Amino acid sequence: MLYSQKYNSPIGDLKIVSDKKNIVGLWIKGQKYFESTIYGEEISSQPLPILEMAKQWLNQYFSGEKPLPEELSLKPKGSEFRKLVWEILCKIPYGEVTTYGEIAKEVAQILQKDKMSAQAVGGAVGHNPISIIIPCHRVIGASGDLIGYAGGIELKKKLLDFEKS
């Protein structure tokens, strides 16, 4: 059984999903891959401490504070490769960005490989099931262009602009 709460944010409606102990999903309504990792599991809309903690985290975030991902118990569902990429995303500081290629280099180093595909990293970043908290919006193209955000480029720009203030 999973549990969910809606959260009305300055960027639109969000859906927070928990397994009772951890946050397993946070999606922006209408984004690509919405609820993609919950695979038809039954969801109950009921308040839980972890969901309230996530809402408080989002309140801090949207009020201009800089809460850290590790302040919440996160358990995104995905392959070990994707989980590694998501861990790396959590280390990108507020107000900074990195590229898919830079993440690919870091993944290659961790996995002791000569190189890693930036496209493979892009697939993992794009399928991040815990938007905003795991900051996939802080990843840009090698040219510095804003590319590849499941919520849309305009939303990615809004989040990055928001974090700069």
Q: Which residues is 27 bridged to in the sheet?
A: 15
Question: Which of 136, 139, 140, 155 does the annotation list as catalytic?
Answer: 136
- What gap in Å lies between CA 16 and CA 72, rounded to an integer? 12
DSSP, res 130: B
Q: How would you classify the pairing of strands 23-28 and 43-45?
A: unpaired
Task: Choose among 123, 107, 125, 124: nearest CA to 115.
Answer: 107
The answer to whether residue 136 is catalytic is yes
Known catalytic residues?
Answer: 136
